[in-house]
Amino acid sequence: MTESALLLREAFNESVNYMTWSFYSLITAYVSMAFYDRVEVKTRINNYLNKLLFVIAMSVFIPNMYFVSMVFSQKLGTA
C-alpha cells in the first residue's frame, strides 16, 4: 500500500470511536425532533424534554466531529 493509504487507515482507526459517538448522537437528535413533530398532545414538559434531548445530543455530536477532524489533520496534514 502507498503511504497515504496507510496514513488514511491509521486515521480511521484512531477516530472510529469519535465517529461512532457522533453518529449515535446525531440519530438521537433526529429521533427527538421526530417525536417533537409527531406527538399529538404537546405539553410543555414534553416539548422541554425533546428540546433538552436534542441539545444534549448535539453537544455530544459537535465535539466528537471536532476530534475526528483533529485526528485526520494530525495524520494527513492540513489541506
The C-alpha angle 2, 14, 24, rounded to 5 degrees, equals: 125
Q: How far apart are CA 42 and CA 47, in angstroms?
A: 7
pTM above the 0.95 mark? no
**Model confidence at 79: pLDDT above 60:** no
Residue 25 · residue 64 · CB < 8 Å: yes
Q: How far apart are CA 12 and CA 19, in angstroms?
A: 9
Q: How far apart are CA 19 and CA 64, in angstroms?
A: 7
Residue in the structure block whose three cell numbers are 502507498: 2
Take residue 31 and report the three cell numbers written for it.
429521533
**By C-alpha distance, which of 64, 66, 69 is closest to 28?**
64
**Model confidence at 41: pLDDT above 80:** no
**Model confidence at 18: pLDDT above 70:** yes
**Model confidence at 49: pLDDT above 80:** yes
> In this predicted model, what pLDDT tens digit does every residue of 19-32 receive, in sequence order?
999 999 999 999 98
